[in-house]
Amino acid sequence: MEEDEYKATYQEIAENRCVFEKALTNNQCKCRFSKHFWLADREGYSCQSQEIAANCRNLLTKLREKSKFLLKLHEVGEQLPHNMEIRVQVGGLRGLRSVLATDEKDSLISDIRALIEQAEKQYDNMDALPYSEIVQSIASFKTRRYGKGKQSRDTD
């Protein structure tokens, strides 16, 4: 499948693209509104709700913006390079869970939507979140590293 054809088909399947797709495909998170699919041997996720997808997009945009100094970026675009994007998505969601003081202690985020709902209840809106604390989790999150012919994994 050519890349242009792949992208067009992807757009049809994932009309509401899940912005936390990298966190989901790396098995770091789950979401009750995500819909998993395979296309040409590649994994993808869409969101079952436009409104919820917009809320998630808003949070991810804020996480990217608040972590741009940490990532040594002058500007933050639509999507970051792969490992940076995973750091922001997974580290950001873990940081959010940490500031909300949930009972969940496993590294897996069991439901992204539930986490966002709890944040909205506790802080009224996404602008009021303590991003300085959340960014600390982004800073400490380590992505998988591959090198010298061996697969190794940093601890997270």
Per-residue confidence at 155, pLDDT binned at 50, 70, 90? very low
Q: Amino acid identity, residue 57?
A: R
Please name which of 37, 28, 31 lies closest in space to residue 55, comparing C-alpha atoms: 31
Mean per-residue pLDDT over the chain, rounded: 86
Decide if 35 is inside a domain: yes
| Mean per-residue pLDDT, 28-57 | 93
pLDDT for 45-70, tens place per residue?
A: 999 999 999 999 999 999 999 988 88
| Mean per-residue pLDDT, 108-131 | 94
In sign, the C-alpha dihedral spanning 26, 131, 15, 118 is positive
What is the residue range of 96's domain? 3-142
The span from the CA of 147 to the CA of 81, in Å, is 18
Decide if 151 is inside a domain: no
Quick check: 92 and 134 in contact, CB under 8 A? yes
The span from the CA of 130 to the CA of 80, in Å, is 22
Above 70 in pLDDT, residue 117?
A: yes
Decide if 27 is inside a domain: yes
pTM listed for this prediction: 0.84
Query: H or E element: which one contains 43?
Result: strand 42-47
Decide if 64 is inside a domain: yes
Per-residue confidence at 11, pLDDT binned at 50, 70, 90? confident
φ, ψ dihedrals at 30, nearest 5°? -135, 160
Decide if 93 is inside a domain: yes
What's the structural domain count of the chain? 1
80 versus 104: which is more confidently predicted? 80
Q: Amino acid identity, residue 15?
A: E
